[in-house]
Structure 1
Amino acid sequence: MPLGRPVYHPAGHDEALRAVLQDLRTGRWVSTRNLLTETPDWGLWTQRTQVLGAAVAGSDVVRAWRAEEPHSTSATVLHTRVLVERALRAHRSGHRQTNDLWREAVAACGEASAMSPEDPVPWICLLTLAQLDVGQRWDQHRAAPPEPMLFPGPWQLLAEADKRDPGNREAYHRMLQFVYARRSEGPLTEAYNFVQWASAAAPAGSALHLLPLYVRVERYRREAGQEQALDLHWISEDATRAALLALQLWFDHTTPATSSVLDLSHLAHALWGAHQFHDASRVFQALDPFYATVPWTYRTRSPGDADAAAEVFLQARARCFSASRGPG
């Protein structure tokens, strides 16, 4: 069983992506072009462009690539990712140029969609930008929901992404982030309703079965400081059922090499919190040697401290492995 200290890497188990990330960060984009050209499906394409875009949002390497290959679909989509990430960062920091960056990113989404109409990423990017419209002033951000229990929101954008890649993991997470932005405080009723609706129709193997675990972590984060109540929350019947359903409907149908480290970390955390130690140990093994700081960081006294999050992760993993081995 793995006993080493966990490693954080945005590419996780995707060895090919880890290799090209270093090249891209140092200004070399040819290996990135080759990797994206060879990416076999929309789910992996979405995941890789997201990681790459976030990694180089502070540099001009993608602009240099586009200057040399202006008709490259990969370069255009990655450029869109970079602009969306910059708009998000500006919004979080309250930067005065947020609106200008937002408009630039929206225009890039349109260009990418026109160049590659079958690609879900431009629509996912528009869905990502929807969370900046806190007052839902844009018509497309307050469309009628598909069911009465849901909220007005960017449902057409989600539908366009879903049409191109049904059940796309990032698309549904972006919709969940929109819900959080819409209701930044108070009960998470809308979020719970959304993830229950999304996961109910998802097939076995879909990462949408983990969405309820993310909402539970968000509730955990908002109630920080109430440690005893939070611990009881994780061993409740509903929380345990959600963790076991995610295990059975997602984990048992997937492989670590194609799985999000963030998803695996949330599942390991939920099973550990529910005292399902044997099942949690299976997920910890699948994670090795990686981990994500979230949700472990919310179990610390200083959320955001990666070292403190790693310590909680190690303690939880050791507890699960010990319980799985049994006495003696």
Structure 2
Amino acid sequence: MEILWSLFGVLLIGAVVASVLRRRGATGIRLAQPGDPDAADPAAYGFARQEELDVRLPGPDDALLRALRAVQGGQDWRAAAALLAGTDKHGELRWQRVQAFAGAASLELAARPGEGGRWLRAWRAEAPKDAGAAAVHAEFLVQQAWRTSTVGTDEFRIILEEARAACEQAALLAPGDPVPHITRLAVARGLGESHEEFERL
């Protein structure tokens, strides 16, 4: 019984403290703005300032940024093809680059329907046996499904089924490359495939 009274007392004190904080207008933790006397300068600790961070990438990848600028600026896929061809298949960097190219094409298409992402369509048409193009296309379809349609709709399922076929083609073009299989896992998750299917992948 004493434990119950103790627990009741703690809850009562917590309610009183919460009420007082609410009345004072406490909003919790706030982010100090640059120049604010409470703001610590990240550069003083060896970090980049928030406004200097590029949150699109998990780390610096100047080669990818140059290729993205070339691809998006001139709508020429060759910079992307060259970068992926020179990227080791057995590292996370390849996956990050495939995601970045696919995301760029998807966002371009969203911004300019019918026009955006032409470079990816041209890449697939002009180099149908390019493993990098196949991997980017498969990931592009997955991103399109999640960005442009509602989960559970026919449109969502159709796009992901097309992505599944693209993953299989990409895997055939690049044996030993894990990227098509990683993308295939996203397809399986979106389609709600069985546990056995996940194990097979």
Q: Same fold (TM over 0.5)?
A: yes
Structure 2 Cα separation of the partners of residues 67 and 130 of structure 1: 26
1:130–1:154 Cα contact (<8 Å) kept: yes
Residue 8 to residue 95, structure 1, CA distance change in 2 (3 Å): farther
Structure 1 Cα separation of the partners of residues 120 and 67 of structure 2: 13
> Paired residue for 1:23?
70
One-letter amino acid of the structure 2 residue matched with residue 21 of structure 1: L
Residue 118 to residue 6, structure 1, CA distance change in 2 (3 Å): same
> Paired residue for 1:81?
139
Q: Deviations over 1:258-283 (max 9, x none)?
A: xxxxxxxxxxxxxxxxxxxxxxxxxx
One-letter amino acid of the structure 2 residue matched with residue 63 of structure 1: R
Residue 92 to residue 3, structure 1, CA distance change in 2 (3 Å): same
Q: Which has the higher contact order (CA 8 A, sep 6+)?
A: 1
> Paired residue for 1:8?
54
Q: Provide structure 2 residue ranges, at least 5 long, that are not aligned to the other structure.
A: 1-42, 110-116
One-letter amino acid of the structure 2 residue matched with residue 8 of structure 1: D
RMSD of Structure 2 on Structure 1 (CA) = 2.2
Counterpart selection for 1:37 from 74, 85, 97: 85
How far residue 9 of structure 1 moved from its aligned partner, in angstroms, is 4.2
1:88–1:129 Cα contact (<8 Å) kept: no
2:130–2:173 Cα contact (<8 Å) kept: no
User: Partner of 2:177: helix, strand, or coil?
Assistant: coil
> Paired residue for 1:295?
none
TM-score normalised according to structure 1 size: 0.40
TM-score normalised according to structure 2 size: 0.63
One-letter amino acid of the structure 1 residue matched with residue 146 of structure 2: L
Q: Provide structure 1 residue ranges, at least 5 long, that are not aligned to the other structure.
A: 144-152, 158-328
Structure 2 Cα separation of the partners of residues 100 and 71 of structure 1: 24
How far residue 60 of structure 1 moved from its aligned partner, in angstroms, is 2.7
1:42–1:119 Cα contact (<8 Å) kept: no
Structure 1 Cα separation of the partners of residues 78 and 164 of structure 2: 26
How far residue 88 of structure 1 moved from its aligned partner, in angstroms, is 2.2
Q: Deviations over 1:49-99 (max 9, x none)?
A: 111111112223211012122221111111111112112223447765212
Structure 2 Cα separation of the partners of residues 99 and 80 of structure 1: 14
Structure 2 Cα separation of the partners of residues 93 and 22 of structure 1: 32
> Paired residue for 2:185?
127
How far residue 25 of structure 1 moved from its aligned partner, in angstroms, is 2.1
> Paired residue for 1:154?
198
Structure 1 Cα separation of the partners of residues 64 and 138 of structure 2: 19
Structure 1 Cα separation of the partners of residues 166 and 95 of structure 2: 16
Q: Deviations over 1:287-327 (max 9, x none)?
A: xxxxxxxxxxxxxxxxxxxxxxxxxxxxxxxxxxxxxxxxx
Question: % of aligned pairs identical?
Answer: 30
One-letter amino acid of the structure 1 residue matched with residue 131 of structure 2: T
> Paired residue for 2:96?
47
Counterpart mapping for 1:43-192 below 5 A: 43-57=92-106, 58=109, 59-92=117-150, 96-133=154-191, 136=192, 138=193, 141-143=194-196, 154-157=198-201
Residue 3 to residue 66, structure 1, CA distance change in 2 (3 Å): closer
Provide the aligned length of Structure 1 versus Structure 2.
143
Larger radius of gyration: 2
One-letter amino acid of the structure 2 residue matched with residue 155 of structure 1: E
User: Partner of 1:119: helix, strand, or coil?
Assistant: coil
Structure 2 Cα separation of the partners of residues 3 and 69 of structure 1: 40
One-letter amino acid of the structure 2 residue matched with residue 31 of structure 1: A
